[in-house]
């Protein structure tokens, strides 16, 4: 399993888009604790305001969920201590979301803040094992470096709120990554020889709300990149291969969203690059400055429209401080308010060090940069840069794999059965490129294989290529096709590959191969049985010869012994007879 950055983009604003389902999910997540821990945490989390409202309004069978979740964790090798530690962090994320700040004015005229509900912070400190003053100071101020001098600067209420949100996202995403790594270690199989991988990629759908912000921009960019991968593999690369192999082909036009992807991710001129440039500036950061740069860069671009103060556009329906992108799935209007802050989502070093000093055993693992001995002054990458790196790695991973696609068509917006909205379905079919894909599949070739590989797989179907073929593979393939009861129009010869037009032909080839393999298996069985019986016969014959030879030797020895005994008896009788005659003559 892998982890995407999309998860942490939505953790703060979950309630806005999902409502009660987010609250129910939080209830179910926390219901996995043992009873004594859960009762204490539920008493702390019973009344929540702000982003999250827990189980107070939901009728949930906690006992059944407790047993199921705890059993699942134990099955994956988690100890009771690990389970409690995980859910304490989840509870602390929920509690942090309730902390609010009140703006104050400092003596020197700068803006500061105080925590309005300090009891929430006390409960967070109890959950993570932190000192109250340390965490309070880290959330209200930050340490700045001026050369070799350290300066403690107070945060305004908005800056403290942003720091709180950054901490929530860091806690949640790092815990999620830690859980995924632990589960991967638990289910990892031992390697034996070459390893084959079966992966399933599940991504967020395209998002278009009444108000679209940075989160929707990032998610839609991910969908745009994945659609580009699908388009290039199913439409562009398919037709390019026909041209490369010299196959007669009438090109099919399709919309390529590469221009939209370049508009977003292109270095120095893309939207993310301009956003990073604005984030890296020192001093006051402004979404309006970013929007003005975007207006200058995208002037004349048909896929992007920008409206900000002082700029006129032809479309009066575009709200102020917004820009509009023409994605493959439709046109989306984004409000830039908060773009710079959310992209510049940097967790202050003071918060990292405060988390590292906590007595909670997992936090030292989740926040290694908080270790004073390993502190680094290097500025971390922005959210947009991290996401570009993440999606680039995903695309590279997909490109080196054999891909299969499942296209999901939503029949209606109500998510109800037996309702079919024709306009909605037609829109999805068009922007997913299914019409072009079907046209290419029907008029193109469903199967292609290099000549040597095709000959190696199907050479048993022709007596001229079986069992070995020592000439050029393309000649062997031509002989092989002539001997098959399949029309030659189903095949097309390229420069290095043989193309098969219809799936039925592939199925027939596989059926012929299966029948032929059965015949060859019978032949191998017949030869093996003949070999085994002949070997058994030769063994029996050799054994019979040995037995016969031994028996004849014994019989010859026995006859010789009897003959020798007879001669000895005859000699003895002769001696006795001779002495008897001599004795009798002497008496007379």
Q: What is the pLDDT of residue 546?
A: 95
| Distance of alpha carbon 569 from the chain centroid | 102
**Measured distance CA(183)–CA(177) in Å, rounded:** 10
pLDDT digits (tens, 9 = 90+) for 539-578: 999 999 999 999 999 999 999 999 999 999 999 999 999 9
Residue 61 has pLDDT above 80, yes or no: no
Residue 465 has pLDDT above 50, yes or no: yes
Q: 332-358: string of b/e by CB count within 10 Å (b at 16+)?
A: bbbbbbebbbbbbbbbbbbbbbbbbbb
Residue 505 has pLDDT above 50, yes or no: yes
Q: What is the pLDDT of residue 456?
A: 92
Residue 45 has pLDDT above 60, yes or no: no
Confidence band, pLDDT 50/70/90 cuts, at residue 152: confident
Q: What is the pLDDT of residue 60?
A: 45
Residue 57 has pLDDT above 50, yes or no: no
Residue 443 has pLDDT above 80, yes or no: no
- Tell which residue, 127, 131, 138, has the closest CA to residue 160: 138
Q: What is the pLDDT of residue 49?
A: 36
pLDDT digits (tens, 9 = 90+) for 383-409: 888 888 888 888 888 888 888 888 888
Residue 117 has pLDDT above 80, yes or no: yes
Q: What is the pLDDT of residue 147?
A: 63
Confidence band, pLDDT 50/70/90 cuts, at residue 26: very low
Residue 459 contacts residue 480 (beta carbons within 8 Å): yes
Q: What is the pLDDT of residue 64?
A: 62
Tokens found for residue 449: 């294989």
Task: Establish how many alpha carbons lie within 13 A of residue 339's alpha carbon, considering only the half-sphere containing its beta carbon.
Answer: 27
pLDDT digits (tens, 9 = 90+) for 262-282: 899 888 788 988 888 888 776
Q: What is the pLDDT of residue 475?
A: 92
Three-state DSSP state, 353: helix
Residue 9 has pLDDT above 90, yes or no: no
**Range with top average pLDDT, 108-117, 342-351, 507-516:** 507-516
Overall average pLDDT of the 520-537 stretch:
94
Instruction: Give the orientation angle of helix 62-75 with respect to helix 35-44, to 10 degrees.
Output: 120
Q: How many residues does the chain have?
A: 588
Confidence band, pLDDT 50/70/90 cuts, at residue 509: very high
Tokens found for residue 476: 């062997």
Residue 52 contacts residue 94 (beta carbons within 8 Å): yes
Q: What is the pLDDT of residue 555?
A: 95
Overall average pLDDT of the 360-368 stretch:
91
Residue 44 CB neighbours (<10 A)? 20
**Cα dist from 118 to 95, 102, 141, whole Å:** 11, 11, 16
Confidence band, pLDDT 50/70/90 cuts, at residue 53: very low
Q: Which domains does the chain have, with CATH numbers?
A: 6-189 (1.20.120.720), 449-588 (3.30.70.1590)
Q: What is the pLDDT of residue 193?
A: 67
Q: What is the pLDDT of residue 23?
A: 40
Q: What is the pLDDT of residue 553?
A: 95
Residue 20 has pLDDT above 70, yes or no: no
The secondary structure of residue 338, as a DSSP letter, is T
Q: pTM above the 0.75 mark? A: no
Overall average pLDDT of the 457-463 stretch:
91
């Amino acid at each position: 399993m892998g982890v995407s950055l999309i998860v942490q983009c939505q953790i703060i604003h979950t309630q806005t888009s999902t409502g009660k389902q987010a609250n129910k999910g939080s209830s179910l997540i926390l219901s996995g604790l043992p009873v004594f821990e859960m009762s204490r945490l539920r008493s702390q989390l019973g009344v929540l305001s702000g982003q999250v409202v827990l189980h107070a309004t939901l009728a949930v069978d906690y006992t059944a969920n407790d047993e199921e979740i705890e059993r699942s964790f134990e099955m994956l090798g988690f100890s009771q201590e690990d389970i409690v530690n995980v859910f304490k962090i989840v509870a602390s994320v929920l509690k942090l979301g309730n902390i609010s700040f009140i703006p104050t004015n400092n003596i020197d005229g700068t803006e500061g803040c105080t925590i309005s509900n300090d009891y929430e912070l006390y409960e967070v400190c109890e959950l993570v094992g932190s000192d109250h003053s340390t965490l309070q100071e880290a959330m209200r101020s930050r340490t700045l470096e001026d050369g070799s001098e350290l300066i403690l600067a107070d945060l305004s209420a908005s800056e403290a709120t942003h720091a709180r949100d950054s901490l929530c996202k860091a806690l949640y995403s790092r815990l999620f990554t830690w859980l995924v790594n632990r589960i991967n270690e638990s289910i990892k199989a031992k390697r034996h020889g070459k390893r084959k991988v079966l992966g399933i990629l599940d991504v967020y759908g395209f998002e278009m709300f009444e108000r679209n912000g940075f989160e929707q921009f990032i998610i839609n960019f991910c969908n745009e990149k994945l659609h580009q991968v699908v388009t290039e593999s199913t439409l562009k690369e398919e037709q390019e291969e026909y041209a490369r192999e010299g196959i007669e082909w009438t090109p099919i036009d399709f919309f390529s969203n590469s221009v939209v992807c370049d508009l977003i991710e292109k270095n120095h001129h893309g939207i993310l690059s301009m956003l990073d440039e604005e984030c890296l500036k020192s001093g006051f950061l402004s979404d309006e400055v970013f929007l003005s740069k975007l207006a200058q860069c995208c002037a004349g671009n048909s896929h992007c429209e920008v409206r900000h103060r002082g700029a006129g556009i032809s479309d009066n329906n575009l709200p102020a401080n917004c820009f509009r992108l023409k994605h493959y799935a439709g046109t989306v209007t984004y409000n830039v308010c908060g773009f710079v802050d959310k992209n510049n989502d940097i967790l202050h070093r003071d918060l990292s060090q405060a988390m590292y000093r906590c007595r909670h055993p997992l936090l030292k693992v989740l926040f290694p940069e908080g270790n004073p001995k390993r502190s680094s002054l290097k500025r971390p990458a922005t959210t947009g840069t991290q996401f570009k790196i993440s999606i680039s790695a995903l695309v590279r991973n997909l490109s080196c794999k054999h891909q299969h696609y499942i296209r999901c068509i939503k029949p209606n917006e109500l998510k109800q059965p037996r309702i079919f909205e024709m306009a909605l379905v037609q829109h999805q079919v068009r922007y997913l490129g299914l019409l072009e894909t079907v046209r290419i599949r029907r008029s193109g070739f469903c199967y292609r294989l290099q000549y040597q590989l095709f000959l190696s797989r199907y050479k048993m179907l022709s007596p001229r290529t079986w069992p070995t073929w020592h000439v050029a593979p393309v000649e062997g393939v031509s002989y092989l096709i002539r001997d098959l009861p399949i029309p030659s129009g189903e095949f097309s010869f390229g420069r290095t590959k043989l193309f098969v037009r219809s799936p039925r032909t592939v199925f027939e080839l596989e059926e012929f191969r299966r029948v032929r393999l059965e015949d060859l298996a019978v032949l191998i069985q017949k030869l093996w049985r003949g070999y085994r019986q002949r070997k058994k016969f030769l063994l029996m014959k050799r054994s019979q010869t040995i037995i016969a030879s031994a028996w004849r030797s014994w019989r010859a020895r026995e006859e010789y012994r009897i003959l020798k005994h007879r001669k000895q008896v005859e000699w003895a009788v002769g001696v006795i007879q001779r002495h008897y005659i001599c004795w009798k003559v002497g008496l007379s």
